[in-house]
Amino acid sequence: MSVILYHWEPNANSGKPMLTLAEKGVAYESQYLDLLQFDQHKPAYLAINPDGTIPALVHGSRVLTESTPMMEYIDDAFKGPPLKPTGPEARWRMRWWMRFFDSYFAPSLSMIGWSIFVGPAVRLRPEEDLRAAIDRIPLESRRIAWRKAMFNEFSPEEIAESKRRVLFATKALEQHLSRFTWIAGDTYTLGDINGFNLGYALPLSQPDHCNETKTPHIMEWLRRIYERPAARETWAKGRTQMSARIKILERAP
């Protein structure tokens, strides 16, 4: 059965299935969609995922669009090294932290990222093009997000609250990694793949809060993942400066 992954950069939600497939050793057809050109809202892609969100995995006739459950599917459906822990307690811990990453940490971190990276990158284009692009977005929640990013409608209070949450979540993660080697416990799992996609650039974007002194466990955890061949292979597929930020994780010679 064919495996096709529609994705953007190895980053955030797109990077989750990319790194998972690489770790499993699954060959797949890569369909790169340029988020900044709104490829994900064009008819060709809406025929695959009517919600217009990326990533999407097409396995034979099956279409999967929720990135975290998608990672579990890849682990369940394909041969290769297991990426879920064997015990139910560790599996629960992996899932608990993935939800914390997806629904608490990531929305705040991405609001900051969209306000400083995505917004300015698309704002170079004429306003009427941007308004037309918004009209093609299927989901109301995504239209709101894009409108805010395109026209820089984030309030100072929203950004300040997002920064507070990023700092809070960074501290919680450091506390967790001071007790456990990996997110789920003793072994590298989908929880680490998820967290790495969220946090690989934290030492660059949050240098005052994520560094050798304040978060030594996070730093070491990120470097251990960066040194995995699957991570090298996945981030080599990046085309923008955003995914190039991963170089911050090179160890000093």
Sites of contact with another protein (CB under 8 A): 62, 64-66, 68-70, 72-73, 76-77, 88-89, 91-93, 95-96, 99-100, 102-104, 107-108, 111, 140-141, 144-145, 148, 158, 161-162, 168, 172, 175-176
- Secondary structure element (H or E) that encloses residue 5, with its range: strand 3-7
CB of residue 88 to another protein, shortest distance in Å: 4
Q: Which is nearer to another protein, 57 or 230 (CB)?
A: 57
- Rounded to a whole number of angstroms, the minimum distance from the CB of residue 28 to another protein is 16
For residues 40 and 53, the answer to whether their CB atoms sit within 8 Å is yes
Nearest 5°: phi and psi at 90? -65, -35
- Residue 108 beta carbon to another protein: minimum distance, rounded to whole angstroms: 7
Q: What residues form DSSP beta bridges with 30?
A: 5
CA distances from 105 to 17, 48, 90, 171, 252 (A): 19, 28, 21, 11, 28
Judged by DSSP in three states, 113 sits in: helix
CB nearer another protein, residue 153 or residue 212: 153
User: How near is the Cβ of 231 to another protein at its closest, in Å?
Assistant: 24
Q: Which is nearer to another protein, 183 or 231 (CB)?
A: 183
C-alpha span between 252 and 248 (Å, rounded): 10
Q: Which is nearer to another protein, 92 or 123 (CB)?
A: 92
Which is closer to another protein, CB of 96 or CB of 212?
Answer: 96
- Concatenate the DSSP letters of all residues of 29-60 into one string: EEEE--GGGTGGGSHHHHTT-TT--S-EEEET
Cβ contact 162:116 at 8 Å? no
Closest distance to another protein from the beta carbon of 90 (Å): 10
Closer Cβ to another protein, 215 or 235, answer by number: 215
Point out which residues pair with 6 in neighbouring strands: 31, 56
Smallest separation (angstroms) from another protein to the CB of 39: 21
Angle, helices 67-77/12-24, rounded to nearest 10 degrees: 10
